[in-house]
Structure 1
Amino acid sequence: MKLNKLFLSLLFIALANTAFAQQDSKQLKALKQKKEAIERQIELAQKNLNKTASGKKLTLGQINTIKAQVRLMQDKISTINSEMRSLDNQITENTGKVHNLQSRLSDLKKEYAGMIRFAQRNQNSYDKMMFIFAAKDFNQAYKRIKYLQQFGQYRKKQAAYIQGTEKDLNNQISVLDRDLKNKLNLLKQQEGEKSRLDRKKNEQAKVLTSLTRDERKYKQDIQKNRQQQVAIDRQMRAEIARIIAEEKRKEEARIKEAERLAAAKAKAEGKEPPATVTAKPKTTSQILRNSPENAKLSDAFESNKGNLPWPVASGVITSRFGPYSVGTAKGHNDGITYQTAEGASVRAVFNGTVSRVGDMFGKYYVLIRHGEYITIYQNLKSVSVSSGQAVSTRQTIGTAAINDGMPEVSFQISRSGVPLNPESWVAR
């Protein structure tokens, strides 16, 4: 009975520890993948920087790239810290497992030693026979025979438990050693990344000092860039307003046609035509969801919030949603800007229909409608879709163009004409 309780206790502890270990392992795997993804972004940004390093004049693209690299390096260090915290928890758990196994092994060995001493005292056949024949009756004799048989089996099981526990202990010690080595490697990575970040911050400081010192040289470029972006954003808002206006016209035409058909039916039946009832004006959202297909598409788009793919297969966010500043110049970004590889494909982030393909300042833009949502892709060198064409998630719609020396794509999401922060919608 005591052995059974001990076995059940060991089994429960083993199952609980296995569950915790699997959870920690998944967390460590996710953190490692995140760290590797950040490193790929840093390398991509550096590759693009190296291509423009030969130019004597600093570009806005280079400034934004260096800023993005600093942010990514900080994210990487933060991820390494999370890895170490998770690994520390795992080391603490594994240390506890080793101590528990050592304690259990000691108890098992003590019990086994007691059984061996008992077996040695009663090892000859005469003692066993005397033990049986000393019984008061046949029933007790039978029980003593069964006891001797079970005792032998029990001793064999106990030996097997000891061997299994020793094996588990050795395995757990190996896991603990591996975790400690991994932590040492993470500490080295952390130190290396901190040094790398310090160098990049120094580079950023020099760039910003150069920008401040020679701002007059860059002011014209900054002003030109801002004016172009303001013009593009104005054009995008006009395109969205045009889509909304067209849907309003369709809705009005549908209502008028329904009224005409109702009046014609009443006339054919010799009845008074139905009185015209002024309907409550529909909201922009209702107008853009004016069909079961558009309503379903809107709901599907919304249900994928936080899981939409990036408009580029690989890239770095160099300009974020909202207000920004470069030197003393300030502006507002209605979306986010991805720096990507030269000639990279630009992809639709969800199923929809191309509402508009246009060009401004020698570059293309594409608007794709997803019910009441509209996604906007700017700064394209070429396009491979046309207005009215249905597209699917991750379908290529064009290629990235060069902007300020860097291959970039600007991406926006609008709901009923209101710009949304794309970072809340795309996968991290």
Structure 2
Amino acid sequence: MKQIRAFILFGLLFQLISFTSVAQSAKQKQLEAKRQQLQKEIKEMNSLLFTDKKKEKSVLTQVEDLNRKITVMQNLIRVTNDQANLLTREINDNQKQIGNLRKQLEELKEAYAAMIVTSYKNKSQQSRVMFLLSSENFKQAYKRLQYFKQYREYQQEQAAEIKNKTEKLQELNTSLLEQKKQKDVLVAENRESKKQLEVELAAHETLMASIRKNMASYAAQIKKKQQEADRIDREIERLIKEAIAESNKSAGKSSSSETFALTAEAKKLAANFEANRGKLPWPVEKGVVQLGYGQQPSPIDKKVPIMSHGVRIATSSGTKARAVFDGVVKAISVPRKGNPVVLIQHGNYFTVYSNLSKVYVKKGDKVTTKQEIGEVFTDVIAKQTILSFSVWKNTKTENPALWLYNM
């Protein structure tokens, strides 16, 4: 019984170790995927925003670019730290588990050795025969014979179990060595990232020092840019409300409603769009987010809020804008003092592509996923190629980062 209890305890302990290891491994994979994504984003930023030193950007544009890059670098350092800390916990857990496993394995081996000695002492044929002949009846003799057989099988099973657990212990040791190597690599990478961050922060501070000398002028530029964005958003909302009123009128519903009366075909399209939440392709083949969704502080004055109903994506000159999902071109608008905007309807959802220089589609066209719908405008003064992209459900905006893959 003592041996059986020992093996049961060993089995339960190993199951607990396996469960903990799987959970930590899943978390480690998530962190590694995030780290690689951030590294890719920094690489694309360097490629799209910081390669051509001959193109002198405005100070405001440089601050915006650096501010975003610094944020991503800080996120990379944080994620890498989380990975290293998780590995430290895993290493400590593994060391404890290895110690426990070794102790348990020694106890099992001692118990098994004692069992073998006892078995050997009672192994003689004469002892077996006498044990069987001393049975009171045939039934008891049969049971005793079965006991010999089961005892032999049990010995074989325990021998195999000890061998298996020994191999598992060796695997755990190998894993521990690999984890230590991974941690060393992460720590070294993080050290280099921190050095680079210090360089970027110094450059950012130099730019901010020049901005502070004429803060009123730069604040006015921020305010003007926000007013232009608000005006475009109001125009988009007006166009969507018109589309809703037109759709509801055709369906015999109230034209004052702010939600669509959908046909069966439109309902199916909306359901397919919703089913692809988080999996939609980006509206440009290559780009980085320069401004995220929602209210956030201005990069030059933290007290001044910026409200963004979509995302601004920086890309390279000549880049084509593309539809993120199947739909119908509902409207094409050219705001006053602005660049063309394309609205694509997906049932009761809209995706909006602003700041285009060329438009390749017309109102009523059916478009497919990744179909080119225009070319992104390049501002030769600001030295920027920026696509503004937003997602609307009826008359309300949603965060594009929740819809686009890996944003």
* TM tier relative to shorter chain: 0.7 to 0.9
Are 2:362 and 1:386 equivalent residues in the alignment? yes
User: For 1:315, which of 279, 284, 287 is the aligned residue?
Assistant: 287
Instruction: For 1:337-376, list aligned pairs within 5 A.
Output: 337-359=312-334, 363-376=339-352
- In 1, the alpha carbon distance for the partners of 2:151 and 2:396 equals 80
Tell me how far 1:368 sits from its aligned partner. Answer: 1.3
Q: Are the counterparts in 1 of residues 211 and 218 from structure 2 also a CA contact under 8 Å?
A: no
CA displacement, residues 378-427 of structure 1 (integer Å, 9 cap, x when unaligned): 22344333221122344332343334223321112334444444345445
Alignment-derived partner of residue 184 in structure 2: 184
In 1, distance between residues paired with 2:56 and 2:244? 51
Contact 1:289 1:371 in 2 (8 A): no
State the SS of the aligned residue for 2:378. Answer: strand
TM-score (norm 1): 0.78
TM-aligned CA distance change 1:307 to 1:39, over 3 Å: same
Q: Is the 8 A contact 1:353 1:370 kept in 2?
A: yes
Amino acid at match of 2:374: G
Evaluate the alpha carbon distance shift between residue 385 and residue 118 of structure 1 in structure 2; reply closer, same or farther with a 3 A threshold: same
Name structure 1 gaps, 5 residues minimum: 256-278
Deviation at 1:73, TM superposition (A): 1.0
> In the alignment, is the contact (CA less than 8 A) between 1:48 and 1:406 conserved in 2?
no
Hey, what's the Cα distance between the residues in 2 that align with 1:147 and 1:326? 81
Letter in 2 for 1:319: L
Secondary structure at 1:54's aligned position in 2? coil
Residue in 1 aligned with 2:211? 211
Q: Which residue of 2 aligns with 1:112?
A: 112
For the pair shown, which has the larger CA radius of gyration, 1 or 2? 1
Q: AA paired with 2:321?
A: V
| Partner SS, residue 94 of structure 2 | helix
TM-score (norm 2): 0.81
Partner of 1:413: 391
User: In structure 2, do the counterparts of structure 1 residues 171 and 358 end up closer, same or farther at CA, with 3 Å as the change threshold?
Assistant: same
What is the number of equivalent residue pairs in this alignment? 400
Is the contact made by 1:284 and 1:416 (CA closer than 8 Å) also made in structure 2?
A: no
Residue pair 1:44, 1:341 contacting (<8 A) in 2 also: no
2-structure distance, mates of 1:378, 1:289: 26
Distance 1:169 1:246, change over 3 A: closer
Q: Quick one: which of 241, 244, 257 aligns to 2:241? A: 244
**Corresponding residue number in structure 2 for 1:73:** 73
CA spacing shift, 1:400–1:245, aligned 2, 3 Å: closer
Distance (whole Å) between structure 2 residues aligned to residue 155 and residue 247 of structure 1:
78
1:292-303 map, 5 Å: 292-298=264-270, 301=273
Structure 1 pair 388–134 and aligned structure 2 pair: CA distance change class (3 A):
same
Structure 2 unaligned spans of 5+: none
Instruction: Tell me the amino acid that sits aligned with residue 45 of structure 2.
Output: A
Q: What's the CA shift for 1:369?
A: 1.9
Once residues 246 and 162 of structure 1 are traced to their aligned partners in structure 2, the CA distance between those partners, rounded to angstroms, is: 72
RMSD: 3.6
Q: What is the alpha-carbon distance in structure 2 between the residues aligned to residue 69 and residue 249 of structure 1?
A: 44
Equivalences for residues 16-415 of structure 1 within 5 A = 16-56=16-56, 58-122=58-122, 124-126=124-126, 128-129=128-129, 143-213=143-213, 219=218, 223=221, 227=224, 230-231=227-228, 233-235=230-232, 237-245=234-242, 247-248=244-245, 251-252=248-249, 281-286=254-259, 288-298=260-270, 301=273, 305-320=277-292, 321-322=294-295, 324-325=297-298, 327=300, 332-359=307-334, 363-403=339-379, 404-415=382-393
Q: Is 1:422 aligned to 2:393, yes or no?
A: no
Q: Provide the C-alpha distance between the structure 2 equivalents of 1:422 and 1:152, rounded to a whole number of angstroms.
A: 67
